[in-house]
Amino acid sequence: MYHVLTSTYLQPLDVIGQTRPAHLEFIEGEVAAGRLLIGGRQESGVGGVLVTGDISTEEVQSIVERDPYTQAGVARYEVVSYNAVVRAPGL
């Protein structure tokens, strides 16, 4: 099961910026572990998007709960889970 996590910032960007280094370090660790494939800030600046690898719903919940943004209360996540029927080679 693959998942798209969309975050919405709950605080102004200057407040988000205080937690951003810890958040980016966390995200890099999740990419290195193979749980996240890609991520980045939405062009509108209202939040971010993360795309997981083929992981369980429980692993996604753990990512959300352990994210420094969630722990600091500066963002919330919505998760869309789906079965990847069509995939690029190597995924």
Overall size of the chain counted in residues: 91
For 28-83, the pLDDT digits (tens) are 999 999 999 999 999 999 999 999 999 999 999 999 999 999 999 999 999 999 99
**Inside any domain, residue 41:** yes
Specify if 35 maps to a domain. Answer: yes
Residue 90 lies in a domain: no
Domain that holds residue 23: 2-82
**Residue 46 covered by a domain:** yes
Residue 68: partners with Cβ closer than 8 Å, 6 or more residues away = 19, 22, 23, 26
- Whether 87 maps to a domain, the answer reads no
Ramachandran bin of 45, using left for φ above 0, alpha for ψ from -120 to 50, beta for the remaining angles: left
Report yes or no on 22 lying in a domain.
Answer: yes
Task: Look at residue 32 and tell me if it is in a domain.
Answer: yes
pLDDT value of residue 91: 65
Assign residue 33 the CATH number of its domain: 3.30.70.1060
70 in any annotated domain? yes
Structure pTM? Answer: 0.90
Number of domains in the chain: 1
Q: Please state, in angstroms and rounded to a whole number, the distance separating the CA atoms of residues 67 and 73.
A: 10
